[in-house]
Structures are given as C-alpha cells and as structure tokens.
Chains A and B, each alone.
Chain A
C-alpha cells in the first residue's frame, strides 16, 4: 500500500519568514495530494490540494508543488503569522481507482515565533 513520509516533524520559524514542509510518497499511482491543518482540539482542515496533472498550485500565502518523477510534494507558507501555528499533515490517495481513502504523513508541528 501507499506510504507517505513527512519532514520535518517540528519546524520553528520567525514570524514573517517562510516555512516549507516536504512529503514523499511510494505509490506512483497516487494522483491526489491534499494538505490539512489541525489546531489543538479540532478536526483537520483542508488548506490546499493538488492533483497529479498539475505541478504547482497557489492560494494567497500558501502554495503546493508536486514532482511526480521524484514522487514528492511540498507545502510552502510565506509571510508566516502566529495563527499559522498548528500541526500540518500531507496525504496521498488514488482517486478513481476504487481506493479513495487518504494515507497521511506523520505530521509537522509548525511553531511561529513572534
């Protein structure tokens, strides 16, 4: 089955700086890659996603890049703010293949230092 590796496990950046979280996946058939933000005591919130026919996607301060050949994808947050502090999870799945559940990475605890 699919295996998703996520790094780093903890990331501390100064407010206003950029943060980058990286994930790799093992199954070349995976074609959908969402990112979730989870705040303490809450369920995961979808923040951005990318499909395998696209190399990059941007939404305001958040961007995701995908390299299908290398089987890795990354989350980029620019101009970080205190409210960006949370745990971020990457995930992968095979859509349309009858196996639509998500395989998650282990998560990155992002800490924004004021």
Chain B
C-alpha cells in the first residue's frame, strides 16, 4: 500500500478565489488521480496526472478550472479556480500501486461561501 497525505485537510473559501490542494505519497508512483466527491455523493474522476506529461481530464472537467501539476513521482497539486458554492466538495487524490490497485488520500473538504 502507500501512505498518502493531503493539505489542507479542510478549508472555507470565498467565491471567486482559488485553492491549491497538495497530495504527497511516501513512495514513487507513476499514476496519480484526482477525484471529487460532492456532499453525500459518490466519487467522480476529475483527471489523471502522470509525471512528465499533461494531465488527462474527464468529460466535464477542464484545465482552466482545475489545473494540475505533477512535478515528480511523489507529489501533485490540484487547483480549484474561480470557486463558486457548487465547488463545495471533498477532493481526493489517489495513487496506483502495482498494475491496478488504487489507494486514496484522506481528502480535502472544501466549502465555498
């Protein structure tokens, strides 16, 4: 498995501002993923972040709104830009260990006022 940490664990932000979420893993991994979990809902994949290449976004998510960085094999950031109350969610990073197993971080709980 892997030990994954996220910062911040929670935040309350004003609409129109941006928040950058950090994800750190204790071992080198090729594939990292970012998911969104809206209140009381399931998880939805935002994008796949591989080191050394541009992030791949899922339908409904765009780079201008959710820019992602992947500077090395243990770290990634997700920025939620120009926030609105609809962006209030839990944002989760995950890493792939081995050929297919994904492990999740604890999540960042974002509230936008």
Contacts and interface: CB of A to CB of B under 8 A. Distances in A.
Interface in B54-113: 58-59, 92, 94, 96, 99-107
Given A89-B42, A101-B58, A104-B43, A44 B101 contact: no
A100 B43 contact: no
Contacts of B41: 106-107
A102 to B, nearest CB: 6
A52 to B, nearest CB: 11
B104 A43 contact: yes
Contact of A101 (B48, B101, B104, B107): B48
Nearest to A51: B100
B31 A46 contact: no
Contact of B99 (A1, A95, A103): A95
A46 B42 contact: no
Contacts of B104: 36, 43-46
A34 B106 CA distance: 18
A44 B43 contact: yes
B45 interface: yes
Interface residues of A, number: 23
B101 A34 contact: yes
A101 B45 contact: yes
Contact of B101 (A1, A49, A103, A104): A49
A103 B45 contact: yes
A43 B1 CA distance: 14
Interface string B7-50: 00000000000000000000000010100000001111100100
B100 A42 contact: no
Interface in A10-45: 32, 34, 36, 42-45
A81 B106 CA distance: 24
Interface string A86-110: 0001000101100011111111000
Given A105-B42, A107-B41, 19 more contacts: A1-B59, A34-B101, A36-B104, A43-B106, A43-B107, A44-B92, A45-B104, A46-B101, A46-B102, A46-B104, A89-B43, A96-B99, A100-B31, A100-B48, A101-B58, A102-B102, A103-B45, A104-B44, A106-B41
